Amino acid sequence: MSFTTAPVRRAGTVHQLPTPFGVGLGLGGAAVLASGLVGVVADGSGYYGEMASLAVVGASAMLGGRLLNRLQQRGRVTRAIGMAMLVAGWVAITLVSLTAFFISGEFAGVSDAVFEAVSATTTTGFTTAEAPENLTYGIRFLRVALQWTTGAGVLMAGLGVLPVAIAGAELVPHSPLEASRRLVRGLWSGTRRIFGLYLLLSSSLMIGFLLAGLSIFDAVSYAMSVSSTGGFANHADSIGHFDDQAVTTIATVGMFAAGGNLAVVWWAFRGAYSSVWKSTELRLYVCLSFIGFVIVWASSGDLGVIESAFAVASVVSTTGLRSANWAGVARGATDHDCEFALVVE
């Protein structure tokens, strides 16, 4: 298949892009508003004041983001400006989230609220909550909603917006079939497709968790945590709380899929299976995962096949969920898992 270079497409092409700080405010506000509404329904009348405060913060942030986005201007997006846009958006969503965490009263002071907010918006997964199950439903939902929202924003910006806005000449296939297999063909079509795949993965995980017996709240929460590779959990012992192999298996498949290249998932979805295996990144990802599984499973007498696969998927996808108490697992397995994490990173 031959390719030609698209005309009049050079680095720094002029695009009409929304204000990144406004986008961050809008995304963060949407997550906070949704968590407030969830809290009103799930936490009961005793928490109406707290949840109403969250809803007000969320709605205000969304309104502020909407107003800022009216200030958008046409201009050329360079690499430096593109990175600055990402940082500005991240700062905005972090400011909104730490405000929500602080006014909720669920965390001990500003430092804990900042820690939780940064952990959520970087999809790191560390938490200051020793027992997440004791937090209100609204705050538990906010934690995973922020990770999911940030994950969606980074994917759409990193794979859909910035490459089209910054990159030079694009390679356009002559064949309509090849064009249909391209994940990102334009600024907005690319972001829609990327978000669609992200939503499809999240929805599939939610349905899987529901079929495995989880409550609606836990199914939605863990689906968002897995698809974003964020790692926040509603329970102190994470996925291990359920002690269910079906739940563990679904989470394993979800983490492995979420940690891979979204473009490869798109090729598979479009039926371009030959292109899927030609991906060097995918082959390396699969090989490293298999090697890690063999090492962890062979070096531990405590972890079974499913638990070993879960541990490796959690590492290679950087999700950080766990299905067992690692303090009680054989020393060799945990050492190899840490070493393997360093290699993957």
pLDDT tens digits along 233-272: 999 999 999 999 999 999 999 999 999 877 777 777 776 6
Q: What CA–CA distance (Å, rounded) separates 100 from 149?
A: 15
**What are the backbone dihedrals phi and psi of residue 171, each rounded to the nearest 5 degrees, phi first?**
-90, 120
What pLDDT score does 29 carry? Answer: 96
> Helix, strand or coil for residue 297?
helix
Q: Are 242 and 250 in contact (CB under 8 A)?
A: no
Q: What CA–CA distance (Å, rounded) separates 51 from 22?
A: 23
Q: What CA–CA distance (Å, rounded) separates 141 from 168?
A: 41
Closest CA to 282 of 296, 270, 266, 303: 266
Given CA atoms 144, 146, 147, 148 in this order, what sign does their dihedral have?
A: positive
pLDDT class of 73 with cuts at 50, 70, 90: low
Given CA atoms 137, 140, 143, 145 in this order, what sign does their dihedral have?
A: negative
Token code pair at residue 299: 């070096």
Q: What CA–CA distance (Å, rounded) separates 290 from 292?
A: 5
Q: What CA–CA distance (Å, rounded) separates 313 from 248?
A: 11
pLDDT tens sequence across 312-336: 999 999 999 988 765 555 455 455 4
DSSP tag of 156? I
**What are the backbone dihedrals phi and psi of residue 244, each rounded to the nearest 5 degrees, phi first?**
-135, 125
pLDDT tens sequence across 41-71: 999 888 889 899 999 999 999 999 988 888 7
Token code pair at residue 40: 């009103």
Helix axes 305-316 and 245-258, enclosed angle (nearest 10):
30
Residue type, 324: A
Residue type, 131: A
What pLDDT score does 268 carry? Answer: 72
Would you kindly state where each structural domain of the chain is located, as residue ranges?
12-168, 272-344
pTM for this predicted structure: 0.83
CA-angle at 158, arms to 319 and 123, nearest 5°: 25
Determine what percent of the chain is predicted with pLDDT higher than 90.
50
Closest CA to 33 of 43, 25, 21: 25
